[in-house]
Amino acid sequence: MQAESSLLYPKHEPRNNGLRSPQPTIFWLYCIEEADARGAGPCKVGVATHLNKRLSSLQGGNWRPLSIVWKVGLIDRDAALQVEAFCLQTLRPSVYGGMKGVRRLKSEWLDATPEVALERARIVLDALKEEGVLAA
């Protein structure tokens, strides 16, 4: 049994009675805006597993410094994507049934404040908690 364990688990991995406890993947629902906007928008809402890499990727295409305004870690990928989709749908122009005065600038960049985006995310997060999909 010991030989089997050493083949399955590298020596540097922590062991728990011979079994490795897998770390759950965290799906980060995030909101990013230009660093000097200070909550005034525009903002981008999205989902990423490697948040710092995502920020670096977005920064490469933006000449102004970007910062993460808020983030929510979820272990349920479908729930994270559901919250993201709700935010993007309800923060699009009112012509399409979204919020009045909000417009999508490009892709997932919205002419909205991070605070408004977080309010939209909380609607779905609270509903998922009530359904028992997410822990309270």
Q: Can you give the pLDDT at residue 105?
A: 65
* Domain extent listing, the chain: 23-130
- Across the range 41-52, mean pLDDT stands at 91
pLDDT at 2: 35
Q: Is the pLDDT of residue 6 over 50?
A: no
Residue 63 CA to residue 99 CA, distance in Å, equals 29
Whether this prediction's pTM lies above 0.85 is answered by no
Return the percentage of the chain with pLDDT > 70, whole number.
71
Torsions phi, psi for 113 (to 5 deg): -85, 155
Query: What's the average model confidence in pLDDT over 33-48?
Result: 88
Contact between 33 and 66 (Cβ < 8 Å)? yes
Bond into 14 cis (ω within 30): no
- pLDDT for the residue numbered 10: 37
